[in-house]
Copies of this chain bind each other. A is one copy, B any other.
């Protein structure tokens, strides 16, 4: 079954030396501790399981052999093989990250060619806001105009407010006087990274207003990610007041990743019609344990509200691992349910179709 990858990033075009490759299979941007390697992890095992066969090596070829083979083929050929093997029908690509490991990423057209998939853009709203130049008094309107323009072709907007100040987003837009004050400080500073909670709240509420007439969903980072995060502030349960306040607008909210708070994300998806739960990043990084984690998501999340993605970034391997580990793990989970009398075969097949592609097609009108 071909998949709709509802949240991913592009991949590095250049060849990668072993250290750069290893750095990209972990969410950490730090060097590994002395005496350890990122290959000794659930993700590392999953890369060695799913990727060597796509390059003509046996499963679990040693990492060193794999990297030699990858360089022999060259990055274009290796990328094409790995992405084709992922079996993706459509990719929604967050274009907020423009490089990985200091190297540029493939433009979307080339990513489309290599995956054989339709590629649509997900616009990271903080990146849009960081590029806005205006007076303090004009910031709110300038951000709105920039978001409207960015949305013209987009499949969704994305927020990383969970990284910047946490998910306890207020249940309504901030007062404009406060916004102007905060914008004044931001616009007169170095503007490297928008982290002011008032501006971030204004931005997110503007996104809701912009998405409503367009029927566009908003994706929110929740749960684990890179070390820039304060994990407990990325608990999606903290979004509840925002979720309730957005509900009348009907704008769908997609809770990305969620782990280790994926049960909380599932509760929100079960409780509120406009909330959806993503499983990307989580399935890739939990490797051999992904079936259990998927099981935890499906305890409360309605099957029509769960969305596959890879959250692949930088390495084409992460597309293949995300897709292959997902297929294998959901299959194993549902086979276990069937063996225990808990799910007829026809329902299992329907669940797979919904999570793999159907839910995303309906939500994003693909």
Q: List residues of chain A with CB under 8 Å of any chain B CB.
A: 26-28, 30-38, 40-42, 45-46, 49, 59-60, 224, 226-227, 229-232, 235, 237-238, 240-241, 244, 259-260, 263-264, 267-268, 270-274, 285-289, 292-293, 295-296, 298-305, 332, 337, 340-344, 347, 350-351, 354, 362
Number of copies: 3
Residues of B within 8 A of A272 (CB): 28, 30, 227
A363 CB, nearest partner CB in chain B, Å: 9
> Provided the pairs A295-B289, A340-B332 are in contact, do residues A226 and B40 lie with their beta carbons within 8 angstroms?
no
Cβ of A44 to closest chain B Cβ, rounded Å: 8
Q: Which residues of B contact A260 (CB under 8 A)?
A: 263-264, 267
Please indicate the chain B residues that have their CB under 8 angstroms from the CB of A301 in the complex. 41
CB distance from A328 to the nearest CB of B (A): 8
Contact between A300 and B273, CB atoms less than 8 A apart:
no
Residues of B with C-beta under 8 A to A295 = 289, 292
Contact at A264–B231, with CB atoms within 8 Å? yes
Neighbouring B residues of A235 by C-beta, 8 Å? 232
Quick check: B299 and A341 within 8 Å, CB to CB? no
Contact residues in B for A237 (Cβ distance below 8 Å): 230-232
Given contacts A240-B230, A342-B45, contact A286 B300 (CB under 8 A): yes
Contacts of A267 in B (CB 8 A): 224, 231, 260
- 26 CB contacts below 8 A, A to B, read A26-B302, A27-B270, A28-B271, A28-B273, A31-B273, A32-B302, A32-B304, A33-B273, A34-B273, A35-B304, A35-B362, A36-B303, A36-B304, A40-B304, A40-B351, A40-B354, A41-B303, A46-B342, A49-B341, A60-B344, A227-B271, A232-B264, A287-B299, A288-B342, A292-B295, A292-B296
A337 surroundings in chain B (CB, below 8 A): 288
Task: A263 to B285: give the CA distance in the assembly, Å.
Answer: 12
Q: A296 to B288, Cβ gap below 8 A?
A: no
A263 and B223 alpha carbons, distance in the complex (Å): 11
Q: Cα distance A351–B39 when bound, in Å? A: 12
CB–CB B271/A286 < 8 A: no
Cβ of A206 to closest chain B Cβ, rounded Å: 24
Give CA–CA (A303, B226) in the complex, Å.
18
Given A30-B273, A227-B272, A295-B292, decide whether A36 and B343 contact each other with a Cβ distance below 8 A: no
Nearest B residue (CB) for A59 = B341
Chain B CB within 10 A, most for which of A288, A295, A301? A288
Chain B residues whose CB sits within 8 angstroms of the CB of A270 once the complex forms: 26-28, 41
Are B42 and A298 neighbours in the complex by a CB distance under 8 Å?
Answer: yes
- CB of A263 within 8 A of CB of B273, answer no
- Add 19 more A-B contacts to A38-B302, A40-B303, A332-B340 (CB < 8 A): A26-B270, A26-B302, A28-B270, A33-B302, A35-B362, A36-B303, A37-B304, A45-B343, A60-B347, A224-B267, A229-B271, A285-B299, A286-B300, A289-B295, A289-B296, A289-B298, A289-B299, A292-B296, A293-B299
